[in-house]
Amino acid sequence: MRRILLIFLILGLTSCEKVLFEPDLATSDPLKNFDYLWNEVDRKYSYFELKNIDWNQVRDTYRPMLSANSTDEELFNVLAAMLNSLRDDHTNLISSFNVSHFNVALRSPENYHDRTIEEYYIPNAWRTGSLKHDFLSNGDVGYIRYQSFALGFGESQMDLVLNRYRNTKGLIIDLRENGGGSIFNVPKLLGRFVETKTQVGYSITRNGPEHSDFGDPENFYITPSERVRYLKPVIVLIDRGSFSATTFFALATKAFPNIILMGDTTGGGGGLPNGGQLPNGWSYRFSISQLLDLSGNNYAEDGVPADIEVAFDWTDLTKDEIIEKAIDEITK
Amino acid sequence: MNRNTFYTEFLKRASLITVFLFFMGLQGKGQANDNFVIPDTLSPTNYYTQLSLGLMSPIYRDFATSPLYYRGFGLYGSSAWLKHSELKERVFKMDVGFSTTSAVFPESDFINLNGSATWVNLNLSYQRLWKLKSISNIKNNVKVGGVVVISQNVRLNNSLYNNALGLENVSNAMASAQLMRDISRTETKQLNLLIFKPILKPVKRDVRFQINVGILNFNYRPGYAYSYDSELVGTETNPFSWALSNYKWSMNGWRLNTQIEYFTYLPNGNARSLAYVWDAAHAPGKFEAFQMASHRIQYTLYFNRKKR
């Protein structure tokens, strides 16, 4: 018995991490959750200065709306409104009953109608992996629809697609309403249309508590693919629904003379989002970096403008004015 | 720690220890057969290959992404090469723990979240111990020395969105002290359990208590923003270097490890043991801390490879 007690004593004294660690911070207290999120954003969000946001003022506006007795729904609404003041679709609050969005695409006219393209332009399109494609304008133009950078494509699949259009005069790559995805698919796709390794921009990331604290610029290069490439004119279609990785893609095309952006300004999303949790278990994310062009301008967060602006005419759904303009540009 | 939390923690720990002691008791009874004798094959120096399996209960918290503790249960396995004598001991060990965990936070009266994370903990360690003759005797062998432990965590947690992948390395040079007490039963003994009166034969047994305390504590933790848009060089970008971009080594924090192990020896010189192991580390890094601890019960087989 004495031995057993001794074992209990030794193990009890040496296996209590809670005594050694800092206190448990989990809490459903609305004010503590508000303060936690406000501080996380304050320390790490990357676009305060570009967007001219007074974050202290935001706290003073929203914190008084809460009390220790606020319900989950009230807390969510206040935190969501606070995050939406950042005007950034890489910023979300995620609870089990709702997800907050700023939804930049809804703040501008829509410029893409899938049915019009399916019915009047590519009714017999090939679907090769995540790429939907076919000939336009009697075979003079190739059209490739890539709906999301979250969807990958095989190198062999891309070889097949580009070989199919090797005798065309130019190519249309439709990235309208492409909400982004994996950034690694950006150089994978763009590398098929360039001749030389080219620096296309920079990225900087928060590295300190001041809103202007950023680390050294990280270079963003596009390198030519060693597989099938297409070096004739390429027109990339974009709109406000082209977000995140698509904004990266659009910014990178500015360095290549054979690629033209057409449509509307992209939706932005030039900052890499992070992710985290609040003391009540809800999740959040927000941008912690900035995408810069070669001159050091950070307009990408507000969207990369089209080289040729064209709008979709919603009074005639048998025609896509943006595709028509792209065909004209390639065949003129 | 409030009073309720203290009692909960105490009860959890007491449960684990009770399970450990229960199996210790079973092991002792398991030896009560006619074939079991004190092995005469043990040499002054023995070389063992060691295989362990166990159950573990980890707890961890990464302040860079969440203020919440993650708790769970998982499986543990290890392999080690051990050289053991009365005077010194040398161990090289590789082990892995694989656990499913979930965040601990207050229940909502509106709707509760569900979600789990995966925690993989890989360790390499090398230990050397030497006997302290001045405080050892025929029953108690006290050894001191050191152990180098390299721990790599891989965490996957979809609740953290773009920070879903968590990586950290915690490496420590630790001072070690070990007490090995010979608790062999040297005479036949009969228990009186009312109906059952088992006869327990003589058996060689040891119980070992070891404590390791971090002296040099290193950790490899993410930079200020945790995730980074690091250099992107076309399709040649190495995803591994991308994932570890801006990680930095720090020398800070602490690590503490204790273990109690109960050995029985087989006639052929092999051995088996049951152990309760606790490991805790605090890695402040340069910006935000990572904390982890695990409780583990493990069963180990020691295969005597070579006798000298």
Interface confidence, given as ipTM, is 0.86
CATH code (residue A241): 3.90.226.10
Q: Compute the C-alpha angle A111/A117/A118, nearest 5°.
A: 140
Going by pLDDT thresholds of 50, 70 and 90, the confidence category of residue B197 is confident
Ramachandran assignment for A42, one of left (phi > 0), alpha (psi -120 to 50 degrees), beta (any other): alpha
A50 in a domain, yes or no? no
DSSP strand E in chain A: where? 92-94, 126-128, 131-136, 141-146, 170-174, 198-205, 218-222, 234-238, 259-263, 276-277, 283-285, 289-292, 308-309
Name the burial class of residue B111, with classes exposed (0-12), middle (13-18) and buried (19+) by CB atoms within 10 angstroms of its CB.
exposed
Backbone angles phi, psi at A106, to 5 degrees: -80, -5
Residues of chain B with pLDDT > 90, as a percent, come to 64
Task: Give pLDDT, residue B4.
Answer: 46
Q: What confidence score (pLDDT) does residue B34 get?
A: 45
- Restricting to B residues 246-265, those with a Cβ less than 8 Å away from any Cβ of A are 246, 254, 256, 258, 260
Which of 195-234 (B) contact A at CB < 8 A? 209, 211, 223-234
Q: Considering the domain boundaries, does residue A236 fall inside one?
A: yes
Name which of A23, A36, A21 is nearest A280 in CA terms: A36
Q: What are B293's strand-pairing partners?
A: B59, B280
Q: What is the pLDDT of residue B35?
A: 45
Rounded CA separation B123/B138 (Å): 34
| Range among A10-14, B90-94, B196-200 with highest mean pLDDT value | B90-94
Residue B33 confidence (pLDDT) above 70 = no
Q: Which residues of B touch A276 (CB under 8 A)?
A: 64-66, 160, 163
The answer to whether the CB of A326 falls within 8 A of the CB of A172 is: yes
Distance CA A143, CA A262 (A): 14
Parallel, antiparallel or unpaired: strands A259-263 and A234-238: parallel
User: Does residue A76 lie within any of the structural domains?
Assistant: no
Q: What is the pLDDT of residues A135-165, one digit of tens each?
A: 999 999 999 999 999 998 999 999 999 999 9
Res A10: pLDDT: 63
Show the tokens assigned to B162. 């773009």
Tokens of A114: 């899938």
Q: Which residues contact A305 (CB under 8 A, 6 or more apart)?
A: A261, A265, A299
Interfacial B residues in 116-175 facing A (CB < 8 Å): 159-164
**Crossing angle (nearest 10°) for helices A30-44 and A72-84:** 20
What are the backbone angles phi and psi of residue B198, rounded to the nearest 5°?
-65, 150
* Percentage with pLDDT > 70 across chain A: 95
- A96 within some domain: no
Q: How far away is chain B from the Cα of A96, in angstroms, using its nearest Cα?
A: 5
Averaged pLDDT for residues B237-260: 90
Total tally of structural domains belonging to chain A: 1
How far off is chain B from A146, nearest CA to CA, in Å? 19
Interatomic CA distance for residues A54 and A46, integer angstroms: 13
Choose among B66, B225, B278: nearest Cβ to A288: B225
Query: Given the DSSP bridges, would you call strands B271-283 and B290-307 parallel, antiparallel or unpaired?
Result: antiparallel
Range of the domain at A256: 107-271+288-331
- Which comes out higher in pLDDT, residue B30 or B254? B254
Q: What is the spatial distance between Cα A113 and Cα A256, in angstroms, rounded to a whole number? A: 28
Q: Report, in angstroms and rounded to the nearest whole number, the Rg of chain A calculated over CA atoms.
A: 25
Q: What is the pLDDT of residue A16?
A: 75
Pairing of strands B45-62, B290-307: antiparallel
Calpha distance B288→B149 (Å, rounded)? 22
| Phi, psi torsion values for A82, nearest 5 degrees | -60, -45
| CB-CB under 8 Å, B163 with A291 | no
Rounded to 5 degrees, φ, ψ at B134 are -65, -30
* Contact status, residue A120 vs residue A310, Cβ threshold 8 Å: no
Which pLDDT score, from 0 to 100, does residue B2 have? 43
Residue A290 to residues A236, A254, A319, B225, Cα–Cα distance (Å):
23, 17, 37, 12
What SS3 class is residue B182? strand
- On whether the CB atoms of residues B162 and A277 are closer than 8 A, the answer is no
Which of A8, A21, A203 is the best mutation test for B, with the most CBs of B within 10 A? A21
Q: Is B110–A73 a contact, with Cβ atoms under 8 angstroms apart?
A: yes
Partner-chain residue, chosen from B161, B235, B260, that has the shortest CB–CB distance to A11: B260
Residue A2 has pLDDT above 80, yes or no: no
Alpha carbon A243 to chain centroid, angstroms: 5
Answer yes or no: is A156 within a domain: yes
Q: Is residue A28 part of a domain?
A: no
For A26-45, what is the mean pLDDT?
97
Amino acid at B222: P
State how far the Cα of A105 lies from the Cα of A93, in Å rounded to an integer: 18
Please check whether residue A267 lies inside any domain of the structure.
yes
Contact flag B233-A221 (C-beta cutoff 8 Å) = yes
Confirm if A214 and A290 have CB atoms less than 8 A apart. Answer: yes
Alpha carbon of residue B174 to chain centroid: 14
Q: Which of B108, B232, B258 sits opposite A187 (nearest CB)?
A: B232
- pLDDT band at residue B238 using 50, 70 and 90 as cut-offs: confident
> What would the mean pLDDT of A98-124 be, rounded to a whole number?
92
Q: Name chain B contacts of A12, Cβ cutoff 8 Å.
A: 10, 13, 17
Mean pLDDT of A220-231: 95
Among B14, B105, B223, select the one facing A26 at the smallest CB separation.
Answer: B105
Q: How far is CA A187 from the centre of its chain?
A: 15
Q: List domains and CATH numbers for chain B.
A: 3-104+114-307 (2.40.128.100)
Dihedral angle sign, alpha carbons of residues B154, B155, B161, B163? negative
pLDDT of B109:
73
Total Cβ atoms within 10 A of residue A154: 12
What's the rounded Cα separation, in Å, for the pair B233 and B22?
A: 59
Evaluated on CA atoms A226, A230, A234, A236, the torsion sign reads negative
A145 located within any domain: yes
* DSSP line for B125-170: EEEEEEE-GGG--SSEEEEEEEEEEEEEEEEE-GGGGGG-EEEEEE
pLDDT of residue A20: 83
Contact with chain A for residue B47, Cβ under 8 A: no
Using CA atoms, how far apart are residues B225 and B287, in angstroms rounded to an integer? 9
Q: What angle do the packed helices A30-44 and A55-62 form, to 10 degrees?
A: 170
What is the reported pLDDT for B3? 42
pLDDT greater than 80 at residue B219: yes
Q: What is the mean pLDDT of chain B?
A: 86
CB–CB of B228 and A208 under 8 A? no
Question: Alpha carbon of A302 to those of A101, A240, A292, B288: distances in Å?
Answer: 16, 10, 12, 31
Specify the range with the lowest mean pLDDT, choosing from A78-87, B2-11, B171-180, B220-229: B2-11
- pLDDT of B234 over the 90 cut: no
- Residue B293 in tokens: 């601890």
Query: What is the rounded CA–CA span in Å between residue A220 and residue A199?
Result: 6
What is residue A332's predicted lDDT score, i.e. its pLDDT? 85
Residues in contact with A272: Cβ distance below 8 Å, sequence separation at least 6, in sequence order: A90, A183, A203, A205, A287, A288, A289, B162, B227, B228, B229
pLDDT at B24 over 90: no
> What is the pLDDT averaged over residues A214-237?
95
- For every residue of A105-120, DSSP letters joined together read GGGS-----HHHHHHH
